[in-house]
Chain A
Amino acid sequence: MSGEPPAWPDQLFEVLLVNDIRQVAYVPDAGHSRVIARAAEHPDIKATVLTTEEEGVALLAGAWLGGERGVLLMQSSGVGNCVNMFTLIENCRMPLVCLVTMRGEWGEFNPWQEPMGRATPDVLARMNLQVHRADRPEDAAPMLDAAIAQSYDGFTASAVLLSQRLIGRKAFVAGG
Chain B
Amino acid sequence: MGNDMLLDRREAVARLLRERGDLLVVSGLGSATYDVAAAGDDPRNFYLWGAMGGTAAMALGLALAQPERPVLAITGDGEMLMGIGSFATIGAAQPKNLSVVVLDNERYGETGAQMTATAHGIDLSGMARASGFEAMDDIRDMNAVGTLAARLHWMEGPLYATIKIDRRDYPKVLPARDGAWLRSRFREAVLGTAP
Chain A positions within 8 Å of B, measured between CB atoms, are: 22-23, 25, 46, 48-52, 54-68, 70, 84-85, 87-88, 91-94, 155
Contact A66-B88, Cβ < 8 Å, known A85-B54, A92-B182: no
B92 within 8 Å of A (CB atoms)? yes
Inter-subunit contact A55/B62 (CB<8 Å): no
- In the complex, what distance in Å separates the CA atom of A68 from the CA atom of B190? 12
Can you name 8 extra interface pairs (CB under 8 A) apart from A23-B61, A58-B53, A62-B63? A54-B57, A55-B57, A55-B89, A62-B57, A63-B62, A65-B46, A68-B61, A155-B195
- In the complex, what distance in Å separates the CA atom of A70 from the CA atom of B50? 22
A84 contact set on B, CB distance < 8 A:
50-52
- In the complex, what distance in Å separates the CA atom of A65 from the CA atom of B55? 13
Inter-subunit contact B83/A22 (CB<8 Å): no
B85 within 8 Å of A (CB atoms)? yes
A52 contact set on B, CB distance < 8 A:
85
- In the complex, what distance in Å separates the CA atom of A56 from the CA atom of B49? 18
Which of A55, A94, A155 contacts B86, CB < 8 Å?
A55
B89 contact set on A, CB distance < 8 A:
48-51, 55, 59
- In the complex, what distance in Å separates the CA atom of A63 from the CA atom of B49? 19
B190 contact set on A, CB distance < 8 A:
65-67
B26 within 8 Å of A (CB atoms)? yes
Inter-subunit contact A92/B54 (CB<8 Å): no
Inter-subunit contact B50/A91 (CB<8 Å): yes
Chain B positions within 8 Å of A, measured between CB atoms, are: 24, 26, 46, 48-55, 57-66, 83, 85-86, 88-89, 92-93, 179-180, 182-183, 186-187, 190-191, 193, 195
Inter-subunit contact B50/A65 (CB<8 Å): no
Inter-subunit contact A49/B92 (CB<8 Å): yes
Interface SS of chain B: helix
A65 contact set on B, CB distance < 8 A:
46, 58, 61-62, 65, 183, 186-187, 190
Inter-subunit contact A58/B54 (CB<8 Å): yes
B26 contact set on A, CB distance < 8 A:
62
Contact A57-B54, Cβ < 8 Å, known A52-B85, A66-B61: yes
Inter-subunit contact A58/B51 (CB<8 Å): yes
A51 contact set on B, CB distance < 8 A:
85-86, 88-89
B62 contact set on A, CB distance < 8 A:
62-63, 65-66
Closest to A69 in B: B65
Closest to A68 in B: B65
7 nearest CB pairs, A to B: A66-B65, A62-B61, A51-B85, A58-B54, A92-B179, A63-B61, A62-B62
Closest to A66 in B: B65
A-B contact pairs, 19 of them (CB 8 A): A51-B88, A55-B54, A59-B57, A59-B89, A60-B61, A62-B26, A62-B63, A63-B62, A63-B64, A64-B61, A66-B24, A66-B191, A67-B66, A70-B61, A85-B53, A88-B51, A91-B180, A93-B179, A155-B195
Nearest-neighbour CB distance to chain A for B185, whole angstroms, equals: 11
Nearest-neighbour CB distance to chain B for A147, whole angstroms, equals: 19
A62 contact set on B, CB distance < 8 A:
26, 57-63, 65
- In the complex, what distance in Å separates the CA atom of A68 from the CA atom of B63? 11
